[in-house]
Amino acid sequence: MCDAGPLIHLDELGCLDLLADFQAVFIPEQVWREVEFHRPGALQHSGVELQRVSVVLSEVDPPQALVRALALDLGEQTSLSLMASHPDAVLLTDDAAARLAAESLGYRVHGSIGILLRAIRRRQRTQREILSILRDLSVRSSLHIRPALLEEIIAEATSAIDWE
């Protein structure tokens, strides 16, 4: 399941192909429209199976108290609702509130940074390539991440010498 952030950010970084090894990437209709507005090219990437899915929100899924408390937008709500019918899937989101909501519901969650780091382990990119992408993240992508956190991630990725 995918929220808009990873599609947009990975496309900005030239790394959308990193999603190709997922069996399928389900994208709720509301998320599809958001990406179509902000970064339409991300939906036309060959080699990545993006499946547009219609989702009707219910009163209980996702829990409305959680939606209100975390101010989740419609795309995040539909992504979480879709997760309810596929609880073994992984939710891809870069939104901190959506991540918190998903984790509180017991779902596995990854963001763009996690997908980049995963690419090293899966040998989709070299450690050097991913480190270069991470170092240039603020100029190549609209992904918002605290500079101190990004530096920590880069330091950890640099010290993980057994990745290559």
- Annotate 92-159 with DSSP letters as a single string: E---HHHHHHHHHTT-EEE-HHHHHHHHHHTTSS-HHHHHHHHHTHHHH------HHHHHHHHHHHHH
Under-70 pLDDT residues of the chain: 59-61, 161-164
pLDDT of residue 68: 78
pLDDT of residue 67: 75
Q: What is the pLDDT of residues 95-105, one digit of tens each?
A: 999 999 999 99
Q: Nearest-5° angle of CA 8, CA 139, CA 119?
A: 55
Q: What is the pLDDT of residues 60-97, one digit of tens each?
A: 667 777 777 788 888 898 898 889 889 899 999 999 99
Contacts of 32 (CB under 8 A, 6+ apart): 43, 52
Kindly list the structural domains of the chain, giving each domain's residue range(s) and its CATH number in brackets, ordered by start. Answer: 4-112 (3.40.50.1010), 125-163 (no CATH)
